[in-house]
Amino acid sequence: MSLRVYVHLVIFLILGLTACEVLDPDQETPSTPSPDEIESLLRIVAEYEVDRQRPIKEQGASWRLCTFYSGALEAYEATATSYYRELAVQWAETNDWQFRDDRARHADFQCIGQVFLDLYLEDRESHMLQATRETFDEIIDDPEPGHEMWSWADALFMAPPVWVRLGAATEKSIYFDFKSERFW
């Protein structure tokens, strides 16, 4: 489960408990968490997830972890705390910025490109882009119908954002066009 999902769950839990307490007029209404409290909770959740995983060097390029590291990059953007970005960089570097050859067409494994491209768009180092571009160019050269590529709901989280980021990173409309054709 991604960091973003954990944070949303915690927020919904807090809101739900707050709503229950508001319904009881004898209860004092809890205050809204401060930004520091929210950031502290973010860090706790991220550290919990990191501690329960295998070491980064053993994790591999899996879809489950790309959702976590995508969430870590969102936390970095929201908080400017380098800890979250460093996690994503370590994971990308450990995987040599590569996709799994046996699953590169599968939307879940295309998600990995979200992490690679978010980091590339910040640093603009060509090695961060190369494997993503090569992998996606191969898919364009030998396409499959969209319903075969993205036939399950969460595939729309996993793959299309990568195609859009790749279009933005390369300034090539072919990636936007391919994504649009496959989506529709």
For 63-99, the pLDDT digits (tens) are 888 888 999 999 999 889 999 999 999 999 999 999 8
Residue matched to tokens 């054709």? 181
Answer yes or no: is pLDDT of 18 > 70: no
Mean pLDDT of 40-49: 88
Residue among 89, 163, 177 at smallest CA distance from 132: 163
Measured between its terminal Cα atoms, the distance across the chain in Å is 28
Answer yes or no: is pLDDT of 14 > 70: no
For 123-155, the pLDDT digits (tens) are 999 999 999 999 999 999 988 776 777 888 888
> Rounded to 5 degrees, what angle do the CA atoms 7, 12, 9 make?
35
- 171, exposed or middle or buried, with CB in 10 Å at 0-12, 13-18, 19+? exposed
- 139, exposed or middle or buried, with CB in 10 Å at 0-12, 13-18, 19+? middle
Phi, psi of 95 (to 5 degrees): -90, 10
